[in-house]
Structure 1
Amino acid sequence: MGRGGAYTSTHRDSEPEVIPTKIGIYGWRKRCLYFLVLLLLVLIIINFALTVWILKVLDFSIHGLGSIKITDNAISISEDVEFLKPVYASKIHANYDLPLVLNSKNNITFNTRDGNGNVTGQFVIGSKSVKSFSERFIIYDSEQNMLFDASDELLTIGDIVKHVKFKVSEGVAFQGPVQADRISSNEVDSLTLESPIGDVTVDAAKKITISSKNDIKSSCHGDMTLGSSTGKIILKSSNIQIPGLTDSSTAASAYQLCICENGRIFLAEPSQQCVPTNTTCP
């Protein structure tokens, strides 16, 4: 250091230069963002309008959907409904002023099941037949009177039924015995009881009455037996004829009726005695 001199520092602390930073989205990114927000808003408006339209078309309300009204203990349907899968309900009935209609392209089947899910009864309504599968089939009238009862052991027609009519062109065939208090035909047709192969047997605990306003005809290919174990056989008529009996002569116009030991009846002349022969009493 020289005399009279001074120390001067030329060094100055330099401050860093501050560069401003832009915050936000600018340019094409900003325009794309606005476009997406606008597109989302349009989609929300369209979805809301479609939702309102669907609710309006389906008639949706707090009570149900359209014709389906939901209550505390039931579901009410006021129009036609098509079920594509099984429907389970404890009771199905129509309105009191409308009928209940069930339609199907094929069959309508009603099943009853036990606690294990096994089918215990089935009722099938087909296009050409109606079938019932159960241990017992019963038909009642409107007053709960039994009309028809069918099971594996017995077929019963109720006591309330006054007349049972079988109207078929070829007649009615019974494989087993038939028990009835009365068998009759209508006022136009005749009543015919026949057995093409076997026998026809008519039994009664008390009496058998055969009556007709016209003729009564009985014929058979074999033997015909009229028998009574304790009572009598009465033929009541003002004109009783037994044509075709064997006679012991051929010249008389009036005969006497003779009976063989075996019960066969033959004719003899009034002046002769009833003398049996090998022809009259074989």
Structure 2
Amino acid sequence: MTREQYILATQQNHLPQTENPQFYPVGIYGWRKRCLYFFVLLLLVTAIVNLAMTIWILKVMNFTVDSPLVLQSDRNVTLNARNALGQLTGQLTVGADAVEAQCKKFEVRESEGGRVLFSANEEEITIGADRLKVTGTEGAVFGHSVETPHIRAEPSQDLKLESPTRSLIMEAPRGVQVSAAAGDFKATCRKELHLQSTEGEIFLNAETIRLGNLPVGSFSAAPPSSPAPQQTVYELCACPNGKLYLSPAGAGSTCHSSSSICLWH
């Protein structure tokens, strides 16, 4: 053993030893421990109450997985959409009398392909379905012009275009075609029916062309003493203003003898 080790061991043996060493407890005791237990218990009770309230709300509002979502109100149900600044950008209101949507553009799409079936904005309304069907007894009422490439009726049903108080105008730059493949075509009006062609002609092609309720003029080339024969053949005459009338046929034209019809009818 070296000298240094001997001196160090001798000093340690002569050090005074303390009697009754004191130990300091580590932890939370007393009122702090009771407060901690109280807060843990309060937190547990709050969690249980929140869970119970959540389950109750889900049950009352019908928030389930296997059934549709139902939102009920005594007055109306309103859904609002807002931007980052809190400004209202869209609104859907379901009320007792109507369903109102306030937005820049409203679209209805099909569930599978996503094709637009109905679209409406400030400028136009677009119907993307293959067929627009109006089942009301009064049909479809348009306040202004209508542009469409094709109008047809249901099978075995009549197609009727009617304007009860105003005129009915059909225009197209390359012509308007009206056809009835399995029925009659009928055009009626209260006052006048105009067929006008500015650059071409009006062509009537049929086996029989009938003009009903035409006025009949009077003409007699026989002597007054002879009995009047029964007239069965008439001549179709035209006035300078375009009016048509019938005149009893004779050996020559008899249209000039019934000129009074052109003046008074």
- TM interval, short-chain normalised: 0.5 to 0.7
The Cα offsets for residues 140-175 of structure 1, whole Å up to 9 and x where unpaired, read as 2232322222222322222xx322111102332211
Give the distance between the partners of 1:51 and 1:266, measured in 2 at CA. Answer: 104
CA RMSD of aligned residues (A): 3.7
Hey, what does 1:185 align to over in structure 2? 153
Hey, what does 1:234 align to over in structure 2? 203
Unaligned ranges ≥5, structure 1: 1-40, 60-64, 68-76, 84-93
Structure with bigger RCO (C-alpha 8 Å, 6+ apart): 2
Hey, what does 2:236 align to over in structure 1? 257
Query: Which among 126, 129, 152 is matched to residue 156 of structure 1?
Result: 126
The Cα offsets for residues 236-270 of structure 1, whole Å up to 9 and x where unpaired, read as 32222111112223853122222222222222233
Indicate the SS of the match to 2:260.
coil
Give the distance between the partners of 1:178 and 1:82, measured in 2 at CA. Answer: 46
Instruction: Provide the TM-score with structure 2 as the length reference.
Output: 0.65
Distance 1:55 1:156, change over 3 A: closer
- Tell me the matched-pair count: 212
1:1-282 matches, cutoff 5 A = 51=44, 55=48, 58=51, 80=59, 82=61, 98=66, 100-105=68-73, 106-142=75-111, 143-158=113-128, 161-212=129-180, 213-249=182-218, 252-271=231-250, 272-273=252-253, 274-275=255-256, 277-280=259-262
Distance 1:57 1:277, change over 3 A: closer
Q: Is the 8 A contact 2:216 2:245 kept in 1?
A: yes
Indicate the SS of the match to 2:262.
coil
How far apart are residue 188 of structure 1 and its match?
A: 4.0
Distance 1:157 1:56, change over 3 A: closer
Give the distance between the partners of 2:120 and 2:44, measured in 1 at CA. Answer: 58
Distance 1:53 1:171, change over 3 A: closer
Give the distance between the partners of 1:201 and 1:248, measured in 2 at CA. Answer: 34
Indicate the SS of the match to 1:220.
coil
Give the distance between the partners of 2:107 and 2:236, measured in 1 at CA. Answer: 57
Q: Is the 8 A contact 1:257 1:266 kept in 2?
A: yes
Give the residue type in structure 2 aligned to 1:172: A
Indicate the SS of the match to 1:279.
helix
Give the residue type in structure 1 aligned to 2:163: S
Give the residue type in structure 1 aligned to 2:164: P
Hey, what does 1:26 align to over in structure 2? none
Give the distance between the partners of 1:54 and 1:162, measured in 2 at CA. Answer: 56
Q: Is the 8 A contact 2:235 2:247 kept in 1?
A: yes
- Hey, which of these two has a bigger chunk of helix by percent? 2
How far apart are residue 281 of structure 1 and its match?
A: 5.3
Question: What is the aligned-residue identity percentage?
Answer: 27
Q: Is the 8 A contact 2:61 2:70 kept in 1?
A: no
Give the residue type in structure 1 aligned to 2:260: N
- 4+ residue stretches of structure 1 with deviation over 6 A? none
Unaligned ranges ≥5, structure 2: 1-33, 220-229
Q: Is the 8 A contact 1:264 1:281 kept in 2?
A: no
Instruction: Provide the TM-score with structure 1 as the length reference.
Output: 0.62
